[in-house]
Amino acid sequence: MIRCKTFIQWVVTEQINQLSISKRVQATIHPLMCYKCRTFKRNNKALNQILSEYDANKPDAG
């Protein structure tokens, strides 16, 4: 089982797809058992979406 700190680091740096298969399985299972990491992952995804929408609609500084 991985630690929350490790899972959060993988999520924030978007390294999950680059991990070995065994670590990817751990990264998939961990938020199923840890509600704090599940919430963090959901909030991080929402924040990334908000920021990308803002960046796409950012007014010109001109």
Task: Give per-residue pLDDT as tens, 2-58.
Answer: 999 999 999 999 899 999 999 999 999 999 999 999 999 999 999 999 999 998 888
Residue 40: its pLDDT value, please?
97
Asked if residue 61 is part of any domain, the answer here is no
Asked if residue 62 is part of any domain, the answer here is no
Asked if residue 21 is part of any domain, the answer here is yes
The number of beta carbons lying within 10 Å of the beta carbon of residue 31 is 18
- CA-CA distance, 17 to 10, in Å (whole number)? 9
This prediction's pTM = 0.81
Contacts of 25 (CB under 8 A, 6+ apart): none
Domain count, the chain: 1
41 is written with which tokens?
A: 């992952």
Residue 62: its pLDDT value, please?
56
Domain span including residue 10: 4-56
- CA-CA distance, 48 to 50, in Å (whole number)? 6
Greatest pairwise CA separation for the chain in angstroms? 51
Asked if residue 43 is part of any domain, the answer here is yes
């924030």: which residue's tokens? 12
